[in-house]
């Protein structure tokens, strides 16, 4: 039999630590030379500075600084190129089009869906949404790749009562609703009233009425303690979290204290790697209340940025 030898891939020179350190040292030396030059101009009678720098060195300091920073700048651009793409698509393009159109990004997405998708066809609406987010403007939906994880959980567990924290544009709401059995109900929570108006239009356009999807426009920390009293919820079968990442842990603790989590309740939390929810992950791993599984993936609509979803199965209060 042939013996296969695994060879380690060599790191590109531009990303090698020695290369980066050499550039940093060069930059520091150039900054020192530039400082001396400034001082020598401001103190023309300084014999020490004149002795330290020759006239030719003084003329070459500024180009030297630029050349010294260039390799470091190129290294950073190459290493973090996907983050620059995200900054461009999610911030710069959005800001320009907000100014030009006077509409929010979510309202522009709804206009595109209204003119390109088939009303009453949930799959058509999701596909149109994905195309818009991939080619026109970036919106942080769950996306088609991570959406398959959500689809699988819905098919396996067939939940009757679902709580969604973070409706945003209604993408994940439509994705959940299309897979639920007859008689199931979604309570979708969104604190931004403007986004909630867009989400309701998209949800109704997909063919889901108020009996199946109830949109609650209030902060999640106000809704969770009142689910039993105001909405008659006795138990949650599935919770999908895709709102502010800093709210993941406080809202999970509210759910734990509310008594709405039963043995076998599934909690799916998106974007636990990027932007990340480290305190949330630390709690669920140490509490002993959950069976934890993290699905590795990439950020929706942006390849090259690592992300993941946390799948929790509630084991019951010990």
Catalytic residues: 242, 245, 270-271, 300
Compute CA 73 distance to the chain's CA centroid, rounded to the nearest angstrom. 25
User: For residue 163, what is the enclosing H or E element?
Assistant: strand 161-165
Between the CA of residue 36 and those of 23, 33, 60, 81, 203, what are the distances in Å?
A: 20, 5, 13, 35, 65
What is the sign of the dihedral through the CA atoms of 116, 244, 146 and 184?
A: negative
Place of tokens 């709690």: 283
Instruction: Specify the DSSP class assigned to residue 218.
Output: S
- SS3 track for 88-123: HHHHHHHHHHHHHHCCCHHHHHHHHHHHHCCCCCHH
Neighbours of 254 (CB within 10 A): 18
User: For residue 297, what is the enclosing H or E element?
Assistant: strand 290-298
Query: What SS3 class is residue 296?
Result: strand
Reference 159, options 270, 292, 265, 311; nearest CA is 265
Instruction: Using CB atoms within 10 Å of the CB of residue 204, give its burial: 0 to 12 exposed, 13 to 18 middle, 19+ buried.
Output: middle
Instruction: Using CB atoms within 10 Å of the CB of residue 66, give its burial: 0 to 12 exposed, 13 to 18 middle, 19+ buried.
Output: exposed
């Amino acid at each position: 039999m042939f013996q296969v030898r695994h060879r380690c891939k060599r790191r590109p020179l531009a990303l090698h630590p020695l290369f980066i350190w050499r550039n940093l040292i060069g930059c520091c030396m150039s900054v020192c030379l530039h400082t001396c030059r400034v001082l020598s101009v401001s103190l023309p009678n300084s014999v020490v500075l004149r002795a330290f720098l020759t006239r030719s060195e003084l003329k070459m300091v500024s180009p030297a600084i630029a050349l010294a920073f260039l390799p470091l700048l190129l290294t950073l651009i190459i290493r973090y190129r996907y983050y620059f793409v995200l900054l461009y698509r999610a911030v710069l393009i959005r800001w320009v089009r907000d100014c030009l159109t006077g509409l929010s990004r979510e309202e522009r997405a709804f206009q595109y869906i209204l003119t390109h998708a088939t009303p009453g066809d949930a799959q058509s609406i999701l596909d149109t949404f994905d195309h818009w987010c991939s080619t026109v403007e970036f919106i942080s939906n769950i996306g088609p790749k991570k959406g398959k994880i959500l689809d699988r959980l819905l098919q396996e567990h067939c939940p009757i009562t679902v709580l969604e924290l973070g409706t945003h544009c209604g993408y994940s709401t439509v994705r959940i609703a299309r897979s639920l059995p007859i008689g199931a109900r979604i309570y979708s929570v969104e604190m931004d009233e403007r986004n909630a108006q867009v989400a309701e239009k998209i949800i109704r356009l997909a063919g889901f009425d108020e009996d199946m999807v109830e949109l609650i426009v209030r902060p999640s920390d106000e809704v969770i303690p009142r689910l039993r009293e105001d909405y008659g919820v006795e138990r949650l079968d599935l919770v999908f979290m895709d709102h502010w990442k800093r709210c993941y842990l406080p809202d999970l603790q509210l759910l734990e204290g509310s008594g709405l989590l039963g043995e076998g309740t599934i909690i799916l939390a998106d974007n636990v790697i990027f932007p990340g929810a480290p305190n949330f992950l630390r709690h669920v791993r140490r509490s002993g209340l959950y069976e934890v599984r993290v699905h590795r993936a990439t950020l929706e609509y942006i390849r090259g940025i690592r992300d993941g979803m946390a799948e929790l199965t509630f084991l019951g209060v010990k």
